[in-house]
Structure 1
Amino acid sequence: MEHAAHNPDEEQFIVRNLKEIIQILTDLSKRHEMLKVSFNHDVCLTNIISVDVKNHSVYLDIGLDDAFNSRLLASHQVVFSKDNGIRIKWTSTNISLATLKDGKAIKIALPQTLMRLQRREFFRLATPIVNPVPCLIPVSDEANPVDRTLELTLVDVSLGGIGVISADPLDSRLVIGASFNQCKISFP
């Protein structure tokens, strides 16, 4: 049986529902997400070519280096991970070579569990890039009693807060945990 390589603190992020695992892997395939492959002391990058639900298999792109591929296929435990954005990680113990219509591929069994860690507690909605959404933050302090307004560009929004882009240098009042009143965001 294959288990996701994870820390005890990550137990709450382990996905065990087969349909959800298939959906996660299919999404990775559709978005051509790069995965880090770690085994023994080797590391490489690959991506998912397809998820074969009927045969409970996952096909991944194979490298060009035959010696490296031989070490990968001989490995007893391989960790697949995506570390940027939402972290996804699982371990496979049965790796083989498959021949698909487009060429050779790495074949692994559909993982029974995987770790999916979204660092933020709330879903984040991205805002338009072409027509950026302004975020106006009124600021004042004892050294400068004249009220000013910082105009930042909204990147994303969630129930837990917003993400903004600020010009360099960053205003000294924009620090982690800061709270502002009477801000204005004009959604289109």
Structure 2
Amino acid sequence: MTLAQNEVSVPVFEIDQPATYGKYLLHNRTEISVHLRALLKHRTLITVYLDEGKAFFLSTLLSIDENANQLVLDGSNHTASNDAALKAARITLSAPLERVKIQIRLPGLSMTTIDGKKALIAPLPASILRLQRREFFRVETPHHITPLRCKLAVPNPTGGHFVVDYPLFDLSGGGISLLGPVDDAELFSLGELFHDCRLEIPGESVLSVNLRVCEVLKIEMIDGQQQLRLGCEFVSLPGTRLAFIERYITRLERERKALRSELEY
């Protein structure tokens, strides 16, 4: 778990925008406990963002102790990440739970050792954000036949760019999720904006879209392999392109329903 940094992008956390996302905040202690225990039970991979979010690493919940009012996170395998976490004045946890984004703000972390491994302790949160957007229907895209793909121009240290080409995990009128190698996580920061990305829909078209990174997560696939999942939202998407994407989603879902009906018949 390496510490990832980007000095240019400005991260955006929904938990810091109560005027827009306040309705998704949970303050009830029992509700908070239910979601924390679900993250613990499923050993969900959690992205730990430090301070403004330009640095992050991946972790999991190890335990929750309501009597002691604390939670314990798995420490990073890298000393630099742990040191940075202990110095950070603000910690933001982000994780997917049944396709819903969970975001948690912690005031700080302290270090302990469990079974010879580094672990990080924090007080239980007073609130969490459970962000479930329903304004866009999201459909999982084909993975095994001809997957949809998207190309992004990623800046390099010399001032130029190189192109990454990732298959889509899912698609909605609001954005896309991309799958890539876990090691590529350090290339991206929360809130980073990519212009003129090439969204390729086989047999249809190639669309130029602007994407803002909303999630940088490590997930485990059905075959047990771990991959990077990059959640992105469309930025300033023209109405004609949105309509094209929505028509494609509708057609894809219609074809899937027809296939299911044939199999059941």
Give the TM interval when normalised to the shorter protein.
0.5 to 0.7
TM-score (norm 1): 0.61
State the shift of 1:27 in Å: 0.5
Map Cα deviations across residues 105-155 of structure 1 (whole Å, 9 max, x no partner).
11111100010012237xxxxxxxxxxxxxxxxxxxxxxxxxxxxxxxxxx
State the shift of 1:18 in Å: 0.7
Q: Which residue of 2 aligns with 1:144?
A: none
Q: Which residue of 2 aligns with 1:161?
A: none
Partner residue of 2:88 out of 75, 80, 87? 75
Partner residue of 1:60 out of 55, 73, 79? 73
Q: Which residue of 2 aligns with 1:6?
A: 16
Whether 1:22 and 2:33 are equivalent positions in the alignment is yes
Partner residue of 2:247 out of 175, 178, 188? 175
Distance 1:99 1:20 in 2: 29
Whether 1:32 and 2:104 are equivalent positions in the alignment is no
Whether 1:91 and 2:91 are equivalent positions in the alignment is no
Amino acid of the residue matched to residue 62 of structure 2? I
* Distance change (3 Å), C-alpha of 1:22 and 1:70: same
Distance 1:102 1:56 in 2: 23
Distance 1:90 1:50 in 2: 16
Note if contact 2:76-2:118 (Cα within 8 Å) is conserved in structure 1.
Answer: no
* Distance change (3 Å), C-alpha of 1:178 and 1:94: closer
Map Cα deviations across residues 65-117 of structure 1 (whole Å, 9 max, x no partner).
22221111111101111258211111111311123346331111110001001
State the shift of 1:176 in Å: 6.2
* Aligned residue pairs, count: 142
More helix by share: 2
State the shift of 1:56 in Å: 1.2
What are structure 1's unaligned runs of at least 5 residues? 122-167
Q: Which residue of 1 aligns with 2:118?
A: 104
Note if contact 1:6-1:115 (Cα within 8 Å) is conserved in structure 2.
Answer: no
Distance 2:113 2:48 in 1: 20
State the shift of 1:22 in Å: 0.9
Alignment of 1:128-143 (within 5 A): none
Note if contact 2:57-2:81 (Cα within 8 Å) is conserved in structure 1.
Answer: no
Q: Which has the higher contact order (CA 8 A, sep 6+)?
A: 1
What are structure 2's unaligned runs of at least 5 residues? 1-13, 136-201, 205-243, 252-256
2:43 is paired with a residue whose SS is: coil
Aligned-residue RMSD, C-alpha = 3.6
- In our comparison, the structure showing a higher alpha carbon Rg is 1
Partner residue of 1:42 out of 55, 74, 78? 55
Amino acid of the residue matched to residue 24 of structure 1? H
Q: Which residue of 2 aligns with 1:146?
A: none
